[in-house]
Structures are given as C-alpha cells and as structure tokens.
Amino acid sequence: MKTIYLHGSPDYYGSGKVLLEILRIPGNASNALVIFPHEGPLCAAIRSMGIPLYIINMGVLRRKYLSPWGIAGRIFCWIRSAIQIRKIIRREKVDRIYVNSLNIVIGPWLKTQKDLPLIWHLHEIIEQTNLLYLFLHRLLQKADTIIAVSKATKAHWEKRPLSTPIQLLYNGFSFAHTLSNTPSPLTINPKEPIANSIVLGMVGRIQHWKGQSYLLSIIQELILLSDFKKMGSFKVLIAGDAYPGSEYLAQELQKEIEDKKLTAYVEYLGYVEDIPSLLQQLDLLIVPSLKPDPLPTVVLEAMFAQKAVVSTPQGGCLEMIEENVTGFFIPLEDAKASSQILLDLMLQKNKLEEAGRQGQKRAYALFSLETFQREWRKILP
C-alpha cells in the first residue's frame, strides 16, 4: 500500500531512527512518501533510499506554543499544511497515512478526504498539561491503528477509553549497524584525552525534563565523596542539542557547567550523529530523566554496544533494564544518593562490563531488527 509518512523532526534522535528502520522494511520504501517540517540530517538518508521527500511546515506542536498566540499560529499552519498534503495524497494516490509522533496533529483532517486508514505511532508520554492530554487523546480517537513503543506509553494513553485498542511494538535496530566501527563525519573527539579514564555519558535532546541539570547536580555531589579519588581520571560527556528555536537551552547548559565549576570533569559535545562511536568511549550511560521517557532509543543502542545503563526508575526504562543485571536505577531528585550509587558502580568496572554483556543479550533477544520487522508485519501487513 502506498503510505505517506509524517514526522516532526528530521534529526537522528529516537523516533527518527525508528522511522528509518520502518522505511527499511522490505517493500516499504518503494511505496513511501515522507513529509518533514524542515530540512535536517534525516533528509539525506531518506533521499538516498529513493523516497520522495516533501518539506512542509505542519505546525509541529511543542510546549512553547501552548499560549493563545502560539495556538493561533499553529492552527494557521495546520490548515495550510493539510491543504497542501491533501493535494499530494490525491495526486500520488496514497492509500494510508502514518503519523510518527503525537506532535503532528493533522492526521485526522487528512483522512477525512477519502476516509484513509490513519496509523498513529506513539513515542510520547504527556503529563503536562491535562488539557493537552485530553486534546491529543481526542485526536487519537480518529486513528484506525495505534502503536505504542512501550507498556508505559500504552498504559498512559489508555487511562481514558479509546475506540481503537493500542498495540505494543518495541523499537528494534540492526545489531550489526549499531556496533559498526565505520567512522562518520561526526566521529567524537573530546577536547581532553579520555584514555584510561572512567567515562560516563548522557545522550538526549536538551530539555529540562531530560535531566541534564540533574546530572550536573549528581556530578557535583560525586566529586565531594571521600572515595572519589579512588577512581583516578574521570570524564562526563553530554551529547545532544535543543529543538530549533530553543537553542538557548544548550547555552544555559554550558553556562551551568561553568557556574558549577565542573569544566574539568564535564564536556558538552552538542549534537552528535555518530552515537556508536560515542558509546564505544563510555563505561556507563546515564539516563537521568525527570519525567517518564517512553522508550529511550539510546538505551537500546548502549545495550547493543555492551554498555551498562543507569536510569531513573520510570517510563520505558523499567521495561528495558533488568535491574542489577543489565543496568541500575538511581532515585529521582536525590543527587547525593545517586552520586553514591554511581561511585560504587564505577569502582567496580568488572560489574559494569558484566552488565554490558548481559544487556547485549537482552537487547538482541527483545529489541532486534528482526523482531521489530516481524511484529510490524503482524500489525500492518
């Protein structure tokens, strides 16, 4: 079936990587059209697959637009983009619509044209605000197929009844691709040497709820611990950028590193495309999210790369990590307790290495590309 794919950000973050894997399923690319709101790193990958790509401002819904003027501007974008995309649907004789994020809300208006099947892939858990949750939940009632990336995501959107049951589909990735040592143009080169260092890393969008600031507080407490010097050389790498229009968040993060006098330990790398190369330099990946993260892709990538993971105990991480076997949990909003857990782990590198090995086995068993493709075909033949 010819499918039009709508996605809210052409960057190599979680949901974008999932979209690529969906398009790589045999038969999908030859029957696909893709729409992004602007140019970005994913565009070249889509075009290289021979897939028609359109750039249309679809009025991506983000928290910064949740004001009367912001919503008015979004509505204008929704109307204009829906008209444009309807023309493409007619011209290209599209059979179904796939929306790869809840921040693209125009799906229901597109399907009304010919009552086309609407597939909605949920990568989000929306806790604020209740009004936004109710608005998005109402839109989901129009979907013919709803897919959730984790049990946590599924349970969140099923708090209120839906006309269509949500189907669970864990993300999956190519094992060989994730472990590839092929250098990319963005291979990581930190400013300071990290050989023989204990290296901790964080990867994710720069957003308050992702917990970059919480991680800095943990590191502050860590270096005050009496046993900290036993680790020897220590380094923290933070990778990721902010959404367009929120670049100030990255500037604030850099300033916070300086204000907390952590420049000797923490380096902000900015946007990193070559995550496998970054992961190869880590002893431990940390996911210090302050709110539930539906199914953080970087955790899967770390597991495939035999890296132990530490996370706050919420969201999809509770399903991905087997506690004290493939990874470990730190408490929310308790930097001092979290710092002691991290120190204890980093003083036991053999424990981290074993967790990494067990994590790879778990990732390959539950989150492989083969499993993903098989389950996808069950949902969407």
266 and 230 both lie in a single domain: yes
**Ramachandran angles phi, psi of 179, nearest 5°:** -95, 10
Average pLDDT, the chain: 91
185 and 161 both lie in a single domain: no
Min mean pLDDT across 58-72, 84-98, 181-195, 228-242 is at 181-195
207 and 156 both lie in a single domain: no
Residues paired with 351 in a beta bridge: none
327 and 243 both lie in a single domain: yes
What pLDDT is stored for residue 71 in this prediction? 86
Examine the fold and report which residue of 113, 146, 169 is the final residue of a domain before the chain moves on: 169
Task: Give Dmax over CA atoms of the chain in angstroms.
Answer: 68
Does residue 369 have a pLDDT over 70? yes
**pLDDT range class, residue 186, cuts 50, 70, 90:** very low
Domain extent at residue 289: 177-366
Examine the fold and report which residue of 119, 142, 169 is the final residue of a domain before the chain moves on: 169
Neighbours of 80 (CB within 10 A): 14
Closest alpha carbon to 237 in 268, 210, 260: 268
**pLDDT range class, residue 175, cuts 50, 70, 90:** low
Closest alpha carbon to 344 in 237, 227, 218: 227
Question: Percent of the chain, pLDDT > 70?
Answer: 93
In a domain, 372, yes or no: no
- Spacing of C-alpha 349 from chain mean position: 27
What pLDDT is stored for residue 180 in this prediction? 43
Supply the DSSP string of 97-151, one letter for each residue: EEE--TT---HHHHHTTTT--EEEEE-----S-HHHHHHHHHHHTT-SEEEESSH
190 and 49 both lie in a single domain: no
> In the predicted model, what is the mean pLDDT of residues 50-61?
96
In a domain, 371, yes or no: no
In a domain, 48, yes or no: yes
Name the 3-class secondary structure at 270: strand
Supply the DSSP string of 145-182, one letter for each residue: EEEESSHHHHHHHTSS--SS-EEE----B-HHHHT---
259 and 354 both lie in a single domain: yes
CATH number of the domain enclosing 221: 3.40.50.2000
In a domain, 380, yes or no: no
What pLDDT is stored for residue 235 in this prediction? 94
Name the 3-class secondary structure at 53: strand
What pLDDT is stored for residue 179 in this prediction? 45
pLDDT digits (tens, 9 = 90+) for 107-166: 999 986 568 999 999 999 988 778 889 999 999 999 999 999 999 999 999 999 999 999
Does residue 181 have a pLDDT over 80? no
262 and 323 both lie in a single domain: yes
Task: Report the sign of the C-alpha dihedral through residues 334, 340, 344, 349, in that order.
Answer: positive
Name the 3-class secondary structure at 323: strand
Neighbours of 27 (CB within 10 A): 9
Alpha helices in the chain (DSSP H): 14-23, 41-48, 68-92, 107-111, 130-140, 151-157, 175-178, 212-222, 248-259, 275-280, 297-304, 317-320, 335-346, 349-366, 369-379
Number of domains within the chain: 2
In a domain, 265, yes or no: yes
In a domain, 309, yes or no: yes
> In the predicted model, what is the mean pLDDT of residues 196-215?
93
Closest alpha carbon to 271 in 182, 210, 188: 188
**Strands of 3-6's sheet, edge to edge?**
53-55, 32-36, 3-6, 96-99, 118-122, 145-148, 166-168
In a domain, 49, yes or no: yes
**pLDDT range class, residue 183, cuts 50, 70, 90:** very low
In a domain, 13, yes or no: yes
- What count of Cα atoms within 13 Å lies in the side-chain half-sphere of residue 30? 3
Does residue 184 have a pLDDT over 70? no
244 and 351 both lie in a single domain: yes
